[in-house]
Every structure is written in C-alpha cells, then in structure tokens.
C-alpha cells in the first residue's frame, strides 16, 4: 500500500510520481490519497497507465479518468470521509489501531452499501461493509480502523539531511499525517540544507518520521483551478452575446441571490466553513468591516479573496482547489488538525450546498447513484461537527422539487440541517422534528412555495419577506 500526502495538485511529490510512472512493471497498486489529482497531472497519470488496482480516497474531483476507471470496474474505490481519512492516517502513524467518530453515523458509511467495485456490465460486485457502533454518553459513534501502509510519499518546502521538514502554506494538508502512516517515508523537498540551518522552532515534521529525503530536480506546481480577481471581474462584466451566456447569467443571478441571503447568517468574529459551489460566493456579500475567519478544511484559517494573477500561489488553495489569498492573521495546519477543529465543535457556522433536503433536516449532497459519484469529501465531517449547518441550493431542479418528505439519495447526515436557504424561501429545522417556513422572497408567493415543496412544513406566524 502506497500513501500520498497531497490535496488535489497542492503539495504533490512530483519527482516521486515521475519515477513511478517510468517503472513499466509497476502495477496493481493500492493507493491512499485524499483524491486522484487530474487526468493530466498528479495521481491521475498513474490511473491513466492503469497502475492502480484500488484507491482509498474521499473525493474523485475533476478527474474523468478516475471516475470512469471506478464506474467501469477497472479500479476499486473505497470512499472515506475526508476527516476520517486524515485521522486514520494520523492514528496509523501514532500506533493507535482505531477510533470512534460521529462522522458517517446513520449513513451508508455506517450501514454499508457504498459500491467499492463495479463489474464490466455496470453491476456492483463489492459493497462496503457495516461498521461497528457504540453508544457513548447517549451519542452513537462508529468505529474506524487506522491505516498503516508500506510506503508514504510526501513533499515539503525546505528540509535538512536529518529529515526535518518545513512545509509551506496549504501544502501541509495530508503530508504530515501521511508521513508516519508509512513503514517507510520518502520525502522530496524544494530546498535541502545541512542540519542546523533550519530554525528548530520552524520545523513542522521532525526527521524521526522520515526515512529518506532528497531535493527534487524540478517542479511545475500547477494550480488546479486558477481563479484570479481579474478573471472573476471579467467573467462578471462580460456582455451577454449568446444563449449559453444568457442561461449562465440567469443561473449566476440565482446563485448570487441565495448567497446574499446566506451571508446574513454570519456575525462579526465567527469561525465559518464554506463548502463548494454556492457557499463560496457568500464571502462576497459580507458587510464592510465585518471580520469572519473562514476555515478551509485543507488546512487554513483566515481565507482571503481570490488573488491577482501575480499573487496566485500553487501552495495556497481552498477546498475547491481554487487559488485564494491570505487574510491578516491567518494560520496554516495539517489536515487532521483541521478536522479536529471541525469535529471538536469549534466552528460557529458551516454553509454547504445540497442536492436534496428532507423535512426532518436530512441532507444528501455527495452521490447520485448511476449518474454522479464525486465522493463525500469533508461534508460528512462538517455536518457531524456540532456547528450550525446552513444549506444553500435551488428549490427546484429540472422541474422537480429538491425539498422532500424523505431524501431519495444516500444521506450525508441525518437531521443535521439547521437552516435551508433556497431561491424561493428560508426554512428552519427543529433538531430533526420538522421544518418551518420563516421567510420568502418578495417576488415569490406563498402558493408558489407550497406548490414547489413536497415536504410538509409549518408557516411561521411572523413570516418575513426577504428584500435583497
């Protein structure tokens, strides 16, 4: 088993990967990594050469080769919530055989039934098995075993010949947790110096965890989703000249409408996590002077806006693998610490996207069987973390309501939604015991909301009108 400490294309051991690609006889690998890079870079290149037999990951991401290899049976995939994966690696390196967690309780992670291997005909040949559970202080937890691999491959910024390593910005991610989880850890760095040349207080990974270290010959350090302040402003200001742009602009207005209302849930000084999609726009609508500490599960607290092209940094990305900037007072940390913040209830608010929400506050947002398999990423950890969970999504998609009596899709979490904000209305939930309509937009009628909602709901006696 090979363990790679990466997050997308950030912090990948490029030289080690290139060496593995050149070994023609290397095949049937079992690989642990948060995700599989892209089809043109990172671990996706190993998949392209069909060297990987099985992946352990939390997210497929923007890699069609990964998804196709999984769905056509060329490669097995064991999907693991991102925070659970980080903790599995941390525990593997610390000699801890396993741990109990709320992440995945009352979902297919606990119950079993997540497809691991498809046959050539599209039928599932192997499903995940149910997990052991235990009640601790009136709360159900499930048991997860730690991961210990044969080799771990990591990439640092600066290192010394004793194996001490300094990482840079969000390139810490899974690298520190992966280091100890391999029986042999091989590290590559951009700069290699003699012992004593690195300040002891600045070292993130002590050399005891590293068995071999070398300076990489060269680095591309690609940014998976390069979004700059200039490119975003240009896309927002483009003149509409085609049907596609008209459709895109209409969709963009709806997304911005939802994000603008969601921003009103935040208060000065809060610690907040923004999910992928509509939630990423929420930061654009904060009142001037309001300070919010945005937490990024790939290892950053104090996420800033999109950078200028000159400021874009391959070692500085958000969970969507987009280029971002630093806010004053920001900090960086490894993935297991990031999810420790989440699981420990240290966030005030989590804002996520959704595919379906039920009247009991159940959320489904990570898989559409037979159509879309992206993985749960960090969403299951975020909804189990104890913070207020706000879901943002379209009320209706392709003529069908997304707010149901019961979710049809596999759950991300059961009874976890605190508030739902759509392009028609706002609903509040009462600890899994029902939903209440509290606000509607000024251009939407109550009859329209009723006709577009399958779920049963109460109507607040002081129903408010949203004017944006």
| CATH 3.40.1080.10 domain span(s) along the chain | 2-215, 229-466
Taking residues 442-447, what's their average pLDDT?
96
Flag whether pLDDT at 399 surpasses 50: yes
Cβ neighbors of 414 (< 8 A, separation 6 or more) are 105, 106, 107, 360, 362, 432
Cβ–Cβ < 8 Å for 215, 192: yes
Of 330, 333, 350, nearest to 342 by C-alpha is 350
Taking the C-alpha atoms of residue 355 and residue 365, their distance in angstroms, rounded to an integer, is: 5
- Chain-centroid distance of CA 303 in Å reads 15
Taking the C-alpha atoms of residue 389 and residue 21, their distance in angstroms, rounded to an integer, is: 42
Burial of 24 (0-12, 13-18, 19+ CB in 10 A): exposed
The CATH superfamily of 229-466 is Glutaconate Coenzyme A-transferase (3.40.1080.10)
Burial of 246 (0-12, 13-18, 19+ CB in 10 A): exposed
This prediction has a pTM of 0.94
Taking residues 217-238, what's their average pLDDT?
82
Tell me the percentage of the chain whose pLDDT exceeds 70: 96
Question: Quick one: which H or E segment has residue 45?
Answer: helix 44-48
pLDDT for the residue numbered 236: 59
Cβ–Cβ < 8 Å for 437, 429: no
**pLDDT tens digits, 289-310:** 999 999 999 999 999 999 999 9
pLDDT band at 465 (very low <50, low <70, confident <90, very high): very high
Strand-pair partners of 435: 429
Quote the DSSP letter at residue 322.
Answer: B
Q: At what angle do helices 335-343 and 82-94 cross, to 10 degrees?
A: 120
Pick the catalytic residue from 14, 111, 188, 297: 297
Quote the DSSP letter at residue 307.
Answer: P
pLDDT band at 140 (very low <50, low <70, confident <90, very high): very high
pLDDT for the residue numbered 368: 86
- Tally of residues, the chain: 468
DSSP 209-275: G-SEEEE-S------TB---HHHHHHHHHPPP-SHHHHHHHHHHHHHHHHHHHHGGG--TT-EEEE-
Mean pLDDT of the chain: 93
pLDDT band at 245 (very low <50, low <70, confident <90, very high): very low
Flag whether pLDDT at 353 surpasses 70: yes
167 SS3 class: coil
pLDDT for the residue numbered 428: 97
Cβ–Cβ < 8 Å for 70, 45: no
Taking residues 175-185, what's their average pLDDT?
98
Taking the C-alpha atoms of residue 369 and residue 356, their distance in angstroms, rounded to an integer, is: 13
Cβ neighbors of 56 (< 8 A, separation 6 or more) are 30, 31, 32, 33, 77, 78, 80, 85, 147
**pLDDT tens digits, 65-106:** 999 999 999 999 999 999 999 999 999 999 999 999 999 999
DSSP 90-127: HHHHHT--EEEESTTTTSHHHH---EEEE-TTS-EEEE
Flag whether pLDDT at 239 surpasses 50: no
pLDDT for the residue numbered 122: 86
Give me the residue label for tokens 């709901």. Answer: 457
Task: Using alpha carbons, list the distances in angstroms from residue 69 to 25, 65, 314.
Answer: 20, 6, 28
Query: Tokens standing for 468?
Result: 């944006």
Query: How much of the chain is helix, strand and coil, in % rounded to 5?
Result: 25, 30, 45
pLDDT band at 229 (very low <50, low <70, confident <90, very high): confident
Domain 2-215 has CATH 3.40.1080.10: yes
Tell me the percentage of the chain whose pLDDT exceeds 90: 87
Flag whether pLDDT at 132 surpasses 60: yes
Whether 297 is catalytic: yes
Task: Using alpha carbons, list the distances in angstroms from residue 39 to 6, 221, 316, 420, 446.
Answer: 16, 15, 21, 35, 47
Flag whether pLDDT at 216 surpasses 90: yes
In the sheet where 403-404 sits, what is the strand order? 363-364, 356-358, 403-404
**pLDDT tens digits, 370-390:** 777 889 999 999 999 999 999
pLDDT for the residue numbered 235: 61
Q: Is the dihedral of CA 415, 417, 418, 422 positive or negative?
A: negative
């Amino acid at each position: 088993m090979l363990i790679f400490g990466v997050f997308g294309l950030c912090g990948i051991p490029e030289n080690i990967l290139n060496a593995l690609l050149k070994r023609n006889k290397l095949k049937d690998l079992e690989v642990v990594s948060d995700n599989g890079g892209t089809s043109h870079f990172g671990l996706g290149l190993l998949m392209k050469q069909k060297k990987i037999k099985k992946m352990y990951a939390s997210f497929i991401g923007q890699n069609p080769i990964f998804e196709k290899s999984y769905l056509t049976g060329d490669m097995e995939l064991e999907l693991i919530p991102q925070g659970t994966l980080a903790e599995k690696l941390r525990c593997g390196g610390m000699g801890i055989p396993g741990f109990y967690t709320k992440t995945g309780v009352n979902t297919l992670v606990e119950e079993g039934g997540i497809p691991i291997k498809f046959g050539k005909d599209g039928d599932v040949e192997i499903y995940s098995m149910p997990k052991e559970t235990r009640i601790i202080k009136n709360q159900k937890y499930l048991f997860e075993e730690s991961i210990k691999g044969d080799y771990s491959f990591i990439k640092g910024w600066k290192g010394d010949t004793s194996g001490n390593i300094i990482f840079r910005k969000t390139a810490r991610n899974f690298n520190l947790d992966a280091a100890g989880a391999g029986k042999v850890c091989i590290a590559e760095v951009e700069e290699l110096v003699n012992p004593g040349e690195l300040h002891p207080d600045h070292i993130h990974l002590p050399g005891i965890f590293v068995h071999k270290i070398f300076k990489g010959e060269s680095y591309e350090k690609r940014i998976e989703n390069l979004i700059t302040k200039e490119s975003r402003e240009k896309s927002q200001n483009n003149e509409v000249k085609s049907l596609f742009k008209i459709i895109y602009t209409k969709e963009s207005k709806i997304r911005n409408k939802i994000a603008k209302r969601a921003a009103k849930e935040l208060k000065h000084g809060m610690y907040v996590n923004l999910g992928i999609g509509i939630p990423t726009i929420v930061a654009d609508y904060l009142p001037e002077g309001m300070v919010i500490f945005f937490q990024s599960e790939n290892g950053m607290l104090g996420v800033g806006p999109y950078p200028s092209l000159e400021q874009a940094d391959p070692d500085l990305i958000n969970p969507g693998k987009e280029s971002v900037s630093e806010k004053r007072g920001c900090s960086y940390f490894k993935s297991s610490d990031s999810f420790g913040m989440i699981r420990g209830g240290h966030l005030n608010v989590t804002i996520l996207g959704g595919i379906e929400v039920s009247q009991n506050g159940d959320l489904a947002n990570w898989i559409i069987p037979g159509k879309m398999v992206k993985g749960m990423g960090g969403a299951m950890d975020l909804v189990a973390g104890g913070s207020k969970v706000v879901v943002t999504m379209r009320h209706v998609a392709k003529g069908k309501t997304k707010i149901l009596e019961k979710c049809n899709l596999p759950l991300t979490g059961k009874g976890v939604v605190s508030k739902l904000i759509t392009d028609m209305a706002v609903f509040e939930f009462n600890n899994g015991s029902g939903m209440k309509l509290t606000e509607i937009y000024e251009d939407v009628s109550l009859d329209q909301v009723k006709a577009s909602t399958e779920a049963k709901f109460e109507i607040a006696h002081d129903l408010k009108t949203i004017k944006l």
